[in-house]
């Protein structure tokens, strides 16, 4: 794992955008694996600025997102589909038909998980996967547990994640209790991975991931199985 310690959130966002932009420049029809959450928002703003400045082109880009609440309507302003439109897709020249998020309104969650997994695999995996990390070391909705499901699946959310996400809802009661999520195997099928972490709250999870061993008690540690991972963090997340 390569580690790049940035002085602050802004620098981390700029550096993350540079890596994504480089992939897009080398391969104009690249497949970008994207994440939601507060961490990548600054990086998405940098990508929007690069697109507006004519430095990167989203015309032929395909995106696949990691996860989505289940059940939720894509039009719900708390859905990850809405988040992606609002924070990136609405502001760049991307063809929305080439942007994919698991369908939170699918009738059958298990079937949707199978379909999404097969779809991502049929693309050959993402050219670059952007990740955030949970305070407990979760990646997408792969929460610490005694076992992890490697492929896209329906999962229950832990109390910690419900609490962390409650800030986006009127109350913790309104946070959906399940999600559709890529598994660590799906995520590891990406050719290149960058993981962003900022703030002291992420320090313990980052350290556990950087220890170099693999444990289901820290899903992020599975990234040690991949040979092209760059950790981008600010000083708070790195030093604690
Ligand atoms: C969202 C996702 C989550 C977040 C994680 C960190 O697609 O994959 O695992 O990356 O919960 O969230 P923030 O960035 O809000 O701290």
**pLDDT at position 162, please?**
81
Chain mean position to CA 28? 21
| pLDDT tens digits along 16-36 | 999 999 999 999 999 999 999
CATH code, domain with 10: 3.40.50.1360
Q: Provide the terminal-to-terminal Cα distance of the chain, rounded to the nearest Å.
A: 19
Residue 82, pLDDT score: 98
Greatest alpha-carbon span in the chain: 47
User: What pLDDT, on the 0 to 100 scale, is given for residue 179?
Assistant: 97
- Nearest atom, ligand 1, residue 140 CA: 8
Over residues 143-163, the pLDDT tens digits come to: 999 999 999 999 998 887 788
Pocket (CB within 6 angstroms of ligand 1): 35-39, 66-67, 132-134, 138-140
Q: What is the atom index within ligand 1 of the atom nearest the CA of 161?
A: 11
pTM of the model: 0.96
A 10 A CB-CB count for 174 gives: 12
The ranges of the chain with pLDDT < 70 are: none
Q: How many domains is the chain built from?
A: 1
CB 46 within 8 A of CB 235: no
Q: Measured in whole angstroms, how far is the alpha carbon of residue 27 from the centre of its chain?
A: 20
DSSP H helices in 27-172: 41-52, 80-87, 109-122, 159-165
**Residue-range definition of the domain harbouring residue 110:** 2-238
Cβ(25)–Cβ(60) below 8 Å: no
pLDDT number for residue 18? 98
């Amino acid at each position: 794992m390569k580690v790049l310690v940035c002085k602050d959130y802004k620098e981390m966002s700029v550096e993350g955008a540079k890596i994504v932009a480089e992939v897009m420049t080398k391969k104009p029809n690249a497949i970008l694996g994207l994440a939601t959450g507060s961490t990548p928002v600054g990086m998405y703003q940098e990508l929007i600025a690069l697109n507006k400045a004519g430095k990167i082109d989203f015309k032929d880009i395909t995106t696949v997102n990691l996860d989505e609440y289940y059940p939720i309507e894509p039009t719900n302003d708390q859905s990850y589909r809405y988040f992606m439109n609002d924070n990136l897709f609405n502001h760049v020249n991307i063809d929305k038909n080439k942007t994919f998020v698991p369908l939170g309104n699918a009738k059958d969650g298990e079937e949707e998980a199978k379909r999404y997994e097969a779809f991502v695999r049929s693309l050959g995996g993402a050219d670059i996967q952007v990740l955030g990390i949970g305070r407990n070391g979760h990646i997408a909705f792969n929460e610490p547990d005694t076992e992890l499901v490697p492929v896209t699946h329906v999962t229950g959310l832990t109390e910690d994640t419900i609490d962390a996400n409650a800030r986006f809802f009127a109350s913790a009661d309104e946070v959906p209790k399940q999600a559709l999520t890529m598994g660590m195997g799906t995520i590891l099928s990406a050719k290149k991975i960058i993981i962003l972490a900022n703030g002291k709250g992420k320090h313990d999870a980052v350290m556990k991931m950087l220890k170099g061993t693999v444990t289901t008690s820290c899903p992020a540690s599975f990234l040690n199985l991949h040979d092209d991972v760059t950790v981008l963090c600010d000083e708070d997340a790195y030093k604690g």
